[in-house]
């Protein structure tokens, strides 16, 4: 038996086909997967954002699904169904055990059929810039109608991502990365209140020439950091031309960036920034300070990479 068959046999009970009713005579298919044994499942938000009704196909029956809440920026929605009597839903577990070049598997709906299929592919990238999302996972499996919302699994059957979009220039599909996916699911299940904040500053990735020209090698362990541009209001001790190095221990401008880290911090969590203070013609040794988040207008719910990494949803 092939590994693809093993993966399907072991985990297809974790995945459900969605039938999304657009009108009385029109519908589309999608995919979701369980994150609790009580009928809570997630799918791609774009699958369900403009539909009249959502149904899950379980044991040959259509069961109406209830929308719980959504994370629009990450394209993730949490829904719930009343499980049919005797239906044993199996929750997927999240894991980081996959690297670029490894095999991956996607279990999802066929284009116009309620049945599920399993497809094998390769992980192309675990941390890439795609649109306005920085931490994204891409694989070689081409997304087709019905496959949006499917889990991306590693060779051990752990969920490492979600199918959400197709990147034509790379001939690859994927969605938000595992870190964002886990934090988003945790927050959606935890019923945390959505409130919009802004850090009130613009940031620019620190370039190699910045590090070399300003002799920063002795103060920065490796190539990372972001330069603070314009400021809006008081934000702790941070000021223009300071260099942000870490946010709550996570490096800025390296594997993660400041906006992504702040996006998925719990509301009450303390935000501490490690930074270099600009002292005229030179930068200080690394310092730490608490960051003061500010309430943002309703429209500040997105951010722009490069020019204004300052707008996000907490």
Per-residue pLDDT, 28: 84
Q: How confident is the model at residue 198 (pLDDT cuts 50, 70, 90)?
A: low
User: Tokens at residue 95, please?
Assistant: 């894991």
CA 50, CA 198: separation in Å to the nearest integer? Answer: 28
Portions of the chain given CATH number 2.30.42.10: 196-313
In angstroms, the CA 156 to CA 7 distance is 8
- Superfamily of the domain at 196-313: PDZ domain (2.30.42.10)
309 alpha-carbon distance from chain centroid: 17
pLDDT in tens, 46-100: 888 888 899 998 877 889 999 998 887 678 999 999 987 777 778 888 876 678 8
Highest CATH level, class, for 103-190: mainly beta
Contact (CB, 8 A) for 313 and 307: no
CA distance 93 to 83: 20
* CA distance linking residue 212 with residue 214, whole number of Å: 6
What are the tens digits of pLDDT across the range 133-170?
456 788 998 877 889 999 999 998 999 999 988 777 66
Q: What is the pLDDT of residue 97?
A: 65
> Most confidently modeled of 67-71, 125-129, 230-234, 255-259?
67-71
What b/e sequence results for 41-60 when a residue is b if at least 16 CB atoms lie within 10 Å of its CB, and e otherwise? bbbbbebbeebeebbbbbee
Tens of pLDDT, residue by residue over 129-138, are 544 445 678 8
CA distances from 134 to 129, 157, 184 (A): 4, 25, 15
CATH 2.40.10.10 residue ranges of the chain are: 10-80, 103-190
């Amino acid at each position: 038996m092939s590994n693809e068959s093993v993966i399907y046999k072991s985990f297809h009970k974790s995945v459900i086909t969605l039938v999304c009713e657009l009108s009385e005579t029109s519908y589309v298919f999608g995919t979701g997967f369980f994150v609790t044994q009580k009928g809570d499942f997630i799918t791609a938000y774009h699958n369900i954002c403009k539909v009249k009704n959502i149904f899950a196909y379980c044991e040959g029956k259509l069961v109406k699904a209830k929308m719980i809440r959504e994370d629009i920026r990450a394209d993730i929605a949490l829904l719930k169904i009343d499980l049919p009597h005797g239906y044993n839903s199996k929750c997927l577990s999240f894991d980081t055990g996959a690297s670029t070049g490894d095999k991956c598997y996607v279990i999802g709906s066929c284009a116009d059929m309620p049945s599920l299929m399993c497809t094998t592919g390769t992980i192309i990238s675990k941390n890439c810039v795609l649109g306005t999302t920085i931490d994204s996972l891409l694989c070689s499996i081409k997304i087709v109608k019905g496959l949006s919302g499917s889990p991306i699994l590693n060779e051990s059957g752990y969920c490492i991502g979600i199918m959400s979009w197709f990147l034509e220039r790379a001939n690859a599909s994927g969605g938000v990365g595992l870190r964002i996916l886990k934090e988003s699911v945790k927050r959606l299940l935890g019923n945390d209140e959505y409130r919009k904040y802004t850090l009130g500053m613009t940031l620019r990735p620190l370039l190699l020439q910045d590090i070399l020209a300003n002799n920063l090698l002795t103060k920065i362990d490796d190539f990372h950091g972001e330069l603070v541009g314009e400021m809006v209001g008081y934000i702790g001790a941070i000021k223009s031309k300071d260099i942000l190095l870490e946010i709550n221990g996570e490096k800025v401008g390296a594997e993660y960036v400041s906006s992504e880290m702040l996006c998925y911090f719990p509301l009450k969590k303390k935000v501490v920034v490690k930074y270099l203070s600009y002292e005229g013609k030179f930068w200080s040794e690394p310092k730490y300070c608490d960051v003061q988040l500010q309430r943002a207008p309703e429209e500040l719910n997105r951010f722009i990479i490069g020019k204004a990494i300052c707008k996000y949803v907490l």
